[in-house]
Structure 1
Amino acid sequence: MCQIEGRALIIEITESMVIGNLENAINVLNKLKRYSIDTASDDFGTGYSSLSYLRSLPVEFIKIDKSFVADADVVSESETIIRAISAMAKSLGFKTIAERVET
């Protein structure tokens, strides 16, 4: 059996996973935190992207959706959205992950 430390993991969740049972999701995320497992809000900026969920969920990372990252070098609005999400995340104490960074 292979054993790894919790801090070596980041589990991604989407808002659609927690809609309808926010209290249970918070309990599960807090249990993961006790094992030093970090969590990330995946696909941020698409779908619901409710700031109230972001405020409620005990996550460490916000993962910026690939739809913004893929064309950020040619579409100024995508770059602006990435900067805004990053600034908000930093202000709230979250780390950010950019999905599918290739250049």
Structure 2
Amino acid sequence: MAGPLNEVFKAIADPTRREILRLLRTEEMSAGDVAARFEMTKPTMSHHFSVLKAAGLISSRREGQTIWYCLNTTVLEDVLAWSMDMARGAEGDKT
């Protein structure tokens, strides 16, 4: 799981990408709606979307000219489970 985890950590290391994930937490949003929340160029926003997609944190679908993004909760759950395993392992190492 190290390879996929590296991509996830790379993706969430950036505050803009964490904010995008927060926005998508409650609902699917169009690329334009997400981009409207930031003062960035379209290519910069596209890069952020690409990094999040590569990490498996978001998925997209095209509807005509509009791209819709939604949160991929499965990957987030996997990262959380990994984090909990690490925390349990660290606690076990203390004894």
TM-score of the two chains, using structure 2 as the length reference: 0.28
TM-score of the two chains, using structure 1 as the length reference: 0.27
Structure having greater relative contact order (Cα 8 Å, sep ≥ 6): 2
